[in-house]
């Protein structure tokens, strides 16, 4: 089984505070780091988090607003100065390439590793790996923006070792074949994997909203997520400000989580106008009980449901 944890590297909205940096969250999955957004200065929290400087890394940018992408420059340079030598893949809407290439040229800093830029051109699968995929969905924001889902593929079912031993099957490759759904022939007898291995077990699903108004499309996109990380820039008393700036309230985030059958909701991206975040949590909890407020450097361990 692959360990997974969420590490929040910035939880404020457009203006940082003494307690909260600008938007960024990392999913540490085994020996890989998946970073979603990189607000200005997030490399400070990245260093503090000690999640690893030279691990396999992919960075996904929800949209090209400064509080979500400007920190890319500092992170890339910091990792280079710290001696990173593994490549980094960066995913974002088409202008991400121009933004990075022009700034690297103007600032004229050299990197000790390769940067591979992938342009996201629409909704669907952004990347598919051996045991997970990242998908995108249009968000409803003031400029082109995406929300993302990390979805693990089903794991093999529970392997019933006692049943295999009763059949006298020796340990080795045959065990792996049976566990991964392959039927075998042993001593002239065909043995079905279904009699040895239980049904496939679901992987984990993590949703990341970025900046957005709540929409039916996103409700369906995040359906049945184990964890949903959703922006709650405003309290609902400031709903008009939320609509004007294409953001969400805590009430709206909680309602979307409820309608999406989410298991755990984590709120982030709080306006600096609110010195006390407790009312945001209280507002959301009236709609959706299993809700948490993210603070910078908070860590959430994501377990398998079964």
DSSP of 48-80: HHT--SSSEEEEE-SB--HHHHTHHHHHHHHHH
Active site includes 37?
no
Q: Which residues contact 80 (CB under 8 A, 6 or more apart)?
A: 109, 110, 111, 112, 113
* Whether the Cβ atoms of residue 23 and residue 12 lie closer than 8 Å to each other: yes
229: DSSP letter: E
| Marked catalytic residue, from 37, 67, 226, 296 | 67
Helix (H, G, I), strand (E, B), or coil: what is residue 134?
A: strand
Q: Which of 206, 204, 153 has its CA nearest to residue 181?
A: 153
Using a 10 angstrom Cβ sphere, with 0-12 exposed, 13-18 middle and 19 or more buried, the burial of residue 155 is middle
**Which SS3 state, helix, strand or coil, does residue 182 take?**
coil
Burial-class residue 123 by CB neighbours within 10 Å (0-12, 13-18, 19+): middle
**3 state DSSP class of 97:** helix
Q: Considering only CA atoms, which of 217, 218, 233 is closest in space to residue 284?
A: 233
Cα 150 from Cα 146, distance rounded (Å): 13
Would you call 80 exposed, middle or buried from its count of C-beta atoms within 10 A (0-12, 13-18, 19+)?
middle
Catalytic positions are 67
């Amino acid at each position: 089984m692959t360990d997974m944890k969420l590490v929040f590297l910035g939880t404020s909205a457009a203006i940082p505070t003494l307690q909260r940096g600008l938007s960024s969250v990392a999913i540490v999955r085994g020996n890989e780091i998946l970073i979603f957004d990189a607000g200005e200065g997030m490399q400070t929290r990245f260093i503090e988090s000690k999640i690893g400087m030279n691990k396999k890394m992919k960075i996904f940018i929800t949209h090209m607003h400064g509080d979500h992408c400007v920190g890319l420059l500092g992170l890339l340079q910091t990792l280079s100065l710290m001696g990173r030598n593994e490549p980094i893949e960066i995913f974002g809407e088409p202008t991400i390439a121009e933004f990075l290439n022009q700034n690297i040229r103007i600032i004229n800093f050299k990197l000790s590793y390769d940067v591979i830029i992938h342009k996201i051109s629409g909704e669907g699968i952004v990347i598919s790996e051996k045991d997970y995929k990242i998908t995108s969905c249009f968000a409803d924001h003031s400029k082109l923006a995406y929300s993302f889902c990390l979805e693990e593929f089903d794991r093999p079912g529970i392997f019933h070792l006692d049943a295999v031993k009763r059949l006298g099957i020796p340990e080795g490759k045959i065990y792996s074949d049976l566990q991964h759904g392959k039927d075998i022939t042993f001593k002239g007898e065909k043995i079905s994997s279904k009699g040895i291995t239980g049904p496939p077990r679901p992987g984990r699903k993590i949703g990341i909203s970025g900046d957005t108004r709540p929409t039916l499309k996103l409700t369906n996109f995040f359906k049945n997520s184990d964890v949903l990380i959703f922006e709650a820039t405003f309290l609902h008393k400031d709903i008009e400000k939320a609509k004007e700036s294409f953001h969400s309230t805590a009430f709206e985030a909680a309602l979307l989580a409820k309608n999406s059958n989410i298991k755990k909701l984590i709120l982030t991206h709080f306006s600096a106008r609110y010195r006390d975040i407790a009312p945001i949590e209280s507002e959301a909890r009236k709609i959706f009980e299993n809700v948490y407020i993210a603070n910078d450097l908070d860590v959430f361990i994501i377990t398998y449901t079964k």
